[in-house]
Structures are given as C-alpha cells and as structure tokens.
Chains A and B, each alone.
Chain A
C-alpha cells in the first residue's frame, strides 16, 4: 500500500466518493480512499435510491436542491447510467396534524422555489390510481424529486476516480491516527499512510473513527431494513411516503418495488441480521394501501445503518481538536440524495475555496448551542 498521500479519505461510501470526485474536479489527484469492507459496503450500497428536496430544514433543502441539479448531469460526466428518474415524491398525511406538518414544510420549501404542491385526495388518486386512499386526507407532491439506481453511480464514481489517479484500498481498516508535525499518520490493517488532509466519511462508523482523532462526534448508527419485490408491470410513478409510520415504496426501472418502514426498536441493531417482524409490518402496510399487491412476492430484504445526528442534519466540518482532519457524517438516512453537494462542500472546505452555502449550520459545535429546529421529514 502507498505510504503517503496528500489527501486520505476514510470510507468509500457515496460521501467519500463524491468528495473525492469534487477534489479531482478541482485538480487534486494525490488521493487515497481507505475502506474497511468492499466498495461502498455500508449504507451507500444498501439504500433505496430515493432522491428528494422535500425537507423541513434549510440545511437539507440547500444540499438537496443543488444535488438534484448535479444528478441530472452526473451520469454523462461519469459515463455511468444510474437511471435517474424524476417522477416525484408523494408525502401522504392521515391526520390533520400530519397535513399541517406537510403544509408548513411545503410553504418553507417554496421559499427556495422547489415547486412543492399540496394536493387533495382526488389528485392523489389520479397520481397513484392503484392506491387505496381511505385513510389518506391529503399530501404534498414535488415532481422534481425521484429515484435512481445506486450501484451504477457508486461504481461509476469508483471507475472515474481510478482513471484519474485516485487509489481506492478496499478491505483496509483504519485502526488509529497519530499526529505528526505537518501531517498525520493513519494506521491501517495494511500499514500506515501519512496525509496532509484527512476526511472521515465512515457513515455509521464515523463516531468510532472520530474517537481515533480525539473528537466526540454525536452520531449514532441505527439499523433500518428495506426490501425489494419481484419485478412487476409498471404501475407506480412517484415514490409514495406515509408520515404515520415512515413507510415508503417506489417502483424501480426493472419493475421491482423497493420500500421500507420504521422498524420496531426491539429488533436489534445489527445490519447483517434482518427480521420477520419488518417483513410483516411492511407487508401489512403495503397491502392495506395497495390491496392488489397481496399476490405479489417480496423477493429479498436487507438492512443498513442510518448515521443519525441529534437534529437529523449532517455534520460537515473541520475537527477543532485535529486541524487538517475533516468530517462529513450524520446524514440520518438521506446522505445518498444530498451527496453530490455535500461532496463539493467538503472539497471546497478542505482546499480553502469559497463555500457554496454558509458553514455555520453544518458545524459540529452547533449541538452545544441553544436548541435549533431539527429535520422532521426523516423516512424509513
């Protein structure tokens, strides 16, 4: 393995890859990405591919809006077809309180020209004719949201980066960090590597990696489960979300349904284990909303971590206790969809370039300050 690099990124998930991509676009190429498992083996290769800007905080909306614009061009830049389809996200409400949450969020979103619309049941029924709308009283809809297929994007990034001189070391776990005079030494299971700049993009493991830098990162890995059905004739255009139980389902390009639901907490937290309880809870909700799917089959199911921050907004910052070390984590289940902009933000921060958004709201120090409103629209 190489013994030094200008920049070392810990984690080959979509955040580390998109940051490396942005750094390459800024002329950097002396970059090594360290990955403890296989490429993108954490949440990035386990997520549902939902892409939305319907959020309740400015922090997420800014990153999401910029990211959706990037996703539209990224395929041709990388030479990778990840099937980005902007067929909308439909959030449904089943109580007046939920409808009010959506109405406030939509009002807020439209300050950023997102074009989110509140729609009634007739309109919902026209959007999703197969859905049983008995319990639904209204919803919010934004056409520009959508879905993509995560793997071609991840492997597209990896191939592009390798072609541009970036080294990706898989099965190479970081075990410690030592401070040097002008740089730092990252210790791994395959030997040490020195770096001038380091980025912690370890997702569900970022708090543990943070400890190696002497930093307290207040994020917690929380398991979420997800499933895919057998391929079905196309019938579902938007991603459908219910606020009641964090249920979501979309139909991918090959006709398969991908979806999840908030897990009951007693199921454990190990992503290599899945539960029958999830399958039952998800199926119950799916069949109540789409009775005809009773006869369709769930094909496969798996799990991964949300790296949850106290306000469900990401942490994008340099570590005060370790200058030259940066962290991008706490994406709380929506990291994939805001990754292009988060990666560019981190690349600009690391190189001292002008930042596209204010830096304050993403700082790790915010949690020590007075209470700030957190993100309410966390799904799954």
Chain B
C-alpha cells in the first residue's frame, strides 16, 4: 500500500509525497529530482530508490519509460574505505 509518507529512499528519507510535490513544481528530470531531494545519494547509491523514482516519473509526470534515464553511474559502486583505495592490492589490480 502506498501512503503519502511511504519512503522511496530509505537512506535519505525521501517520501512519495515529496517526490510528487517536486514533480508538480515542474522538475521532471531524474538528475534535478536527485539534487533537490537527495534521493539516491545515500550509502546504497540509489540501487532501490532510483528505480522506484523512474516508476513515479512515469506514473506522475506521464513520461514514457524509455525517456526516463537512470543517473550517471560511476565508481565506486558501493562505499569503499579510504584505506582500501590506497592498498597495494588495488594497485596490482590496476596494472
């Protein structure tokens, strides 16, 4: 069941209601919504919420699904400790 306070992004506490409000304001680009609400910027890096956001954009903004891209994916895919980045092991892998 979806209620107004249903959380779409558990890391950044973004609710369905908040997404609907932002879309009503005219922000329908996934990158804009990410920047306004913080959705997808927490430790899980959007693995669940960005897919839900795409569905919300399709249903609320009436966008065709193929016109709703995912945000740019970059390294690291999961949070990586600063100490791990500088380990010699990684240096070997890089070669």
Interface residues of A (CB under 8 A from B): 37-41, 45, 151, 154-155, 159, 170-171, 228-230, 272-277, 279-280, 282-284, 286-287, 293-302
Among listed B2-10, B54-62, B76-84, interface-contacting one: B76-84
Question: How would residues 66 to 93 of chain B score, 1 for a CB under 8 Å from any chain A CB and 0 otherwise?
Answer: 0000001011100111110110001100
Using CB atoms, name the residue of chain A closest to B26.
Answer: A162
Instruction: Check if B15 is an interface residue, CB within 8 A of chain A.
Output: no
Chain A's nearest CB lies how many Å from the CB of B79? 4
CA distance A297 to B76 in the complex (A): 10
CA distance A299 to B12 in the complex (A): 13
Is A280 touching B81 in the complex (CB atoms < 8 A)? no
Which chain B residues lie closer than 8 Å to A170 at the CB level?
29
Number of interface residues of B (CB under 8 A): 25
Instruction: Check if B64 is an interface residue, CB within 8 A of chain A.
Output: no
Is A294 touching B76 in the complex (CB atoms < 8 A)? no
Please pick, from A272, A276, A302, the residue contacting B94 in the complex, using a CB distance under 8 A: A276
Using CB atoms, name the residue of chain B closest to A271.
Answer: B72
Within 8 A of A (CB), among B6-49: 25, 27, 29, 31-32, 35-36, 41-43, 45
Please pick, from A228, A280, A296, the residue contacting B86 in the complex, using a CB distance under 8 A: A280
From DSSP, what is the main secondary structure of chain A's interface residues? mixed
Is A298 touching B82 in the complex (CB atoms < 8 A)? yes
Is A38 touching B32 in the complex (CB atoms < 8 A)? yes
Is B79 touching A298 in the complex (CB atoms < 8 A)? yes
Which chain B residues lie closer than 8 Å to A37 at the CB level?
31
Chain B's nearest CB lies how many Å from the CB of A279? 5
Is A280 touching B36 in the complex (CB atoms < 8 A)? no
Using CB atoms, name the residue of chain A closest to B30.
Answer: A38
Chain B's nearest CB lies how many Å from the CB of A322? 31
Chain B's nearest CB lies how many Å from the CB of A272? 6
Which chain B residues lie closer than 8 Å to A159 at the CB level?
25
Q: List 8 A-B contacts (CB under 8 A).
A: A38-B31, A39-B27, A154-B35, A276-B75, A280-B91, A295-B82, A298-B80, A299-B76
Please pick, from B27, B35, B45, B90, the residue contacting A299 in the complex, using a CB distance under 8 A: B45
CA distance A33 to B76 in the complex (A): 35
Known: A155-B35, A299-B45. A38 touches B29 (CB 8 A): yes
Chain B's nearest CB lies how many Å from the CB of A227? 9
